[in-house]
Structure 1
Amino acid sequence: MAIKGHNHKTGELNNATKILTSLTAGAIAGALAKTTIAPLDRTKINFQIGKNPYSTRKALKFLKQTYKQEGFIALWRGNSATMARIVPYAAIQFTAHEEWKKVLGVDGSRGKESPKKLFLAGSLAGVTSQSLTYPLDLARARMAVTKKIEYATLREVFVKVYKEEGLRAFYKGYISTIAGVIPYAGVSFFTYDTLKQIYKDKFEEKYSGFYPLVSLFMGACAGMLGQTSSYPLDIIRRRMQTDTQGRYPTIKATILYMHRTEGLWRALYKGLSMNWIKGPIAVGISYATYDNTKESLRAFLIDKQNKKISVEKPV
């Protein structure tokens, strides 16, 4: 009797089942990571789009005021939109990364990996997932910077934006986003894969397995480098996404407005210190959860297959 999704001879999962486990692990990883840092994310977005200079004291004050005025749950305002986006986004991104690595021949099956191709695989994974989920990212940003009375639900964001600004508004800031995703995802995945390979080369004989804390640390390093490399473009896309007054119609107009009103370099790196806190936490949790969930799922399915085969074998 054949077991769907498995290979009897090798005890390995077929490609369709591998993709399914990647999608599942990616969705869990993204949801857990983003929920953990949602209050910090909301704070960062508010400073990114405003004129007030960022400081840790002001960020803490924002969190405290939000808690006092709107309640504890308000700290996670916009998280429903985040989940609606991050679950498919992370699932697609991690799975696309595995598939792009296969296409480019840097999935570990052909010996020594090319750094350029590892970077390209990460960038392409980021572009793939961002392109497919961008309107949800815009909706999440709108919800994060407004009061509940303006956008009560995710559906209301889509209806209101479509009626008042048109279909094109759902892709406001898309070019700057993709320009930022290329270095961010490329650097992030490249760093993580490189650190994983170094760890395996140095410690594979000494330690069996890839410990969650190790992957958490590697993911944190990858997140810090990736987000620092793309942060100015993240600022620009947030301004464009949340613009309802026509101040930021293009990337050039956004840069010029920021330069006139705030000073360009200060505005482009506003809130970066918070990103150095939340970014490594989020990316570390995401990568560690993905790797360990994926391996656990695959090990469970292979074990289940092998047990079924042994039961079905004629004595």
Structure 2
Amino acid sequence: MAPSGAVYYGVYDMLKSAYLHSPEGRKRLQNIKQEGEELNALEQLELGTKRTLLYGAIAGCCSEAATYPFEVVRRQLQMQVRATKMSALATCIKIVEQGGISALYAGLIPSLLQVLPSAAISYFVYEFMKIVLKVEST
């Protein structure tokens, strides 16, 4: 969970920061400050609706791809019987020996199809609720 969260929040923050420091992002922030309360909550999103959803989806994709091999090893560990139980490292080596590095990513595409919409919507709701509840980010 910790590596997944670190990648998820880290990638989103890097993408958001890069955009907000770009000329286009600075211009958008300036327009939001000038128009202030006249804008509805959707218009006040720093990244805009599409970019918020896109960056959330990208962050979710990166997080899933970075941590998916750990999930494969974890599942293999759970299926082992007590008599032949191996360590996590030994299990990982066995998976790679039997199927190559790609075996650590078996099933990633279906997993991404589940994660991407969830991650995108999650960040959109987070950013939207910060505006609605008037929570200032630092």
TM-score by length of 2: 0.70
**In the alignment, which residue of structure 1 is the partner of 2:66?**
132
Q: Is the 8 A contact 1:122 1:187 kept in 2?
A: yes
One-letter amino acid matched to 2:7: I
One-letter identity of the residue aligned with 1:170: L
Matched with 1:100 is 15
Separation (CA, whole Å) in 2 of partners of 1:155 and 1:142: 11
What does residue 90 of structure 1 align with?
5
Counterparts of residues 53-202 of structure 1 (less than 5 Å): 86-105=1-20, 110=29, 111=32, 112-113=44-45, 114-200=48-134
- How much does 1:142 deviate? 2.1
> In the TM superposition, what is the alpha-carbon distance from 1:100 to its structure 2 partner?
1.4
Aligned length: 118
Greater than 6 Å deviation, 4+ residue runs: none
Relative contact order (alpha carbons < 8 A, sep ≥ 6): 1 or 2 greater?
Answer: 2
Write the distance in 2 (CA, Å) between the matches of 1:142 and 1:193.
Answer: 37
Structure 1 spans left out of the alignment, 5+ residues = 1-85, 210-290, 296-315
The 1:148/1:156 distance shift into structure 2, 3 A limit, reads farther
CA distance 1:149–1:125, shift in 2 (3 Å): farther
Deviations 1:253-300 (A, max 9, x none): xxxxxxxxxxxxxxxxxxxxxxxxxxxxxxxxxxxxxx9xxx7xxxxx
Q: Tell me if structure 2 keeps the 8 A contact 1:104–1:117.
A: no
Cα 1:165/1:193, change in 2 over 3 Å? same
The residue that corresponds to 2:41 in the other structure is none
- Once residues 88 and 156 of structure 1 are traced to their aligned partners in structure 2, the CA distance between those partners, rounded to angstroms, is 21
TM-fit CA distance, 1:148: 4.2
Structure 2 residue runs without a partner (length 5+): 33-43
Identify if the C-alpha distance between structure 1 residues 148 and 95 changes in structure 2 by more than 3 Å, giving closer, same or farther: farther
Q: Which amino acid aligns with 1:199?
A: L
Distance 2:132 2:78 in 1: 39
Which protein is bigger by CA-based radius of gyration? 1
Q: Distance in 2 between matches of 1:190 and 1:150?
A: 46
Q: Normalising by structure 1, report the TM-score.
A: 0.34
Q: How does 1:1-315 map to 2 (within 5 A)?
A: 86-105=1-20, 110=29, 111=32, 112-113=44-45, 114-200=48-134
- Identity, in percent, stands at 23
Indicate how the Cα distance of structure 1 residues 158 and 104 shifts in structure 2: closer, same or farther if over 3 A, else same: same
Structure 1 residues 127 and 151, CA gap change in structure 2 (3 angstroms): farther
Deviations 1:144-163 (A, max 9, x none): 34434444321021022122
Cα pair distance change 1:160/1:151, threshold 3 Å: farther
Could you report, residue by residue, the CA deviation over 1:174-211 in whole angstroms, capped at 9, with x for unpaired residues? 111222221111111111221122111xxx6xxxx8xx
Contact 1:100 1:124 in 2 (8 A): no
CA apart distance, 1:171: 1.0
Instruction: Supply the distance in 1 between the matched residues of 2:52 and 2:10 (Cα, whole angstroms).
Output: 15
